[in-house]
Amino acid sequence: MGCQLPIGVFDSGVGGLTVAKEIMSQLPGERILYYGDTARVPYGSKSKETVTEYSRQIIRFLMSQGVKVIVVACNTASALAVDTLRSEFDVPILDVVEPGARAAAAATKNGRIGILGTEGTIRSGMYNKCLYDINPDLGVYSRACPLFVPLVEEGWIYDNITREVIKRYLSDLQGKEIDSLVLGCTHYPLLRNLIDDVAKEVIGSNVTLVNPAVETAKELKTLLAERDMLSDHTHVPEHTFYVSDGAEKFRSFANSILSCTVIETKDVAVKTFE
Ligand code: DGL
């Protein structure tokens, strides 16, 4: 029978679009309702309580629009808030950290994994926990990269300044013999080419980047299939995008990275969804 309701996807800003893009590619018949909390980005430097409350408000808003599942397309909210959110809402909630850890554990050949993420994600130790649950013998090395999100939100994704910032952060992972490097923030795949280049130079030529979005979309497909919730749309549906500020800036950014055309982005303040 399936379920024609959309998939609710959210992030602090444009980062979650990298997850939405992967969902669109692996599940082309599914409609997405996206919320980017652009008025309150970044989440990475905020407390667990604040990120949990922001996420709660967004989920309430998405549920008020009618969604069949929520994808927390933000590593910070996944790492800090997802357990609480799952206990509060009666809707399946997928995060990006657990799939990201599974993808990294599958990708590494020498058992040495690097994690790049926001301060909140790295401080939470969530990637380490998930990876050690899979295999306690893995070597896990993390680095918080707080400047990446503002650089991406500013659109500086091919800039020399961004390259220098990446170099500075990655030099801390030098000599650790890492062969898999997790892009543990959904904004980071937008810097993929530069990070890949610098990682090969600074960490080693055999390093592979892991984008948790790929595994997340795969697991979303499995979940929907198991629950008989896949949509039976035969055409590519029209997705809807909401933000808490700067709708026009968001729309043009989304159009530069998605393969569909974003015609309109609506401003919605979710603070009222308390
Ligand atoms: N893109 C988000 C993440 O995956 C949040 C980044 C931020 O707002 O600091 O962590």
pLDDT in tens, 181-220: 999 999 999 999 999 999 999 999 999 999 999 999 999 9
43 lines ligand 1 (CB under 6 A): yes
| 1 falls within a domain | no
Report the separation in Å between the CA atom of 93 and the middle of ligand 1, taken as the mean of its atom positions.
Answer: 17
Q: What is the pTM of this model?
A: 0.95
Q: What positions carry a catalytic annotation?
A: 74, 185
Mark whether 184 and 258 lie in a shared domain.
Answer: no
Mark whether 70 and 19 lie in a shared domain.
Answer: yes
> What is the predicted pLDDT for the residue at 272?
63
| 136 falls within a domain | yes
Tell me how far apart the alpha carbons of residues 26 and 218 are, in angstroms, rounded to a whole number. 7
Domain assignment of residue 114, given as a range? 97-212
Tell me how far apart the alpha carbons of residues 149 and 20 are, in angstroms, rounded to a whole number. 17
- Please say whether the beta carbons of 64 and 242 come within 8 A: no
Mark whether 105 and 195 lie in a shared domain.
Answer: yes
Indicate the pairing of strand 139-144 with strand 180-183: unpaired
Residue ending a domain, among 212, 237, 255, is: 212
Burial of 121 (0-12, 13-18, 19+ CB in 10 A): buried
- Please say whether the beta carbons of 242 and 33 come within 8 A: yes
pLDDT of 141-192, one tens digit each? 999 999 999 999 888 999 999 999 999 999 999 999 999 999 999 999 999 9
Joined together, the tokens standing for residue 92 give 């399946």
118 lines ligand 1 (CB under 6 A): yes
> What is the predicted pLDDT for the residue at 274?
61
Atom of ligand 1 nearest to the CA of 185: 4
Q: How many domains does the chain have?
A: 2
Mark whether 173 and 267 lie in a shared domain.
Answer: no
> What is the predicted pLDDT for the residue at 261?
82
42 lines ligand 1 (CB under 6 A): yes
Atom of ligand 1 nearest to the CA of 146: 9
Q: Which residues of the chain fall short of a pLDDT of 50?
A: none
> What is the predicted pLDDT for the residue at 262?
82
Mark whether 11 and 37 lie in a shared domain.
Answer: yes
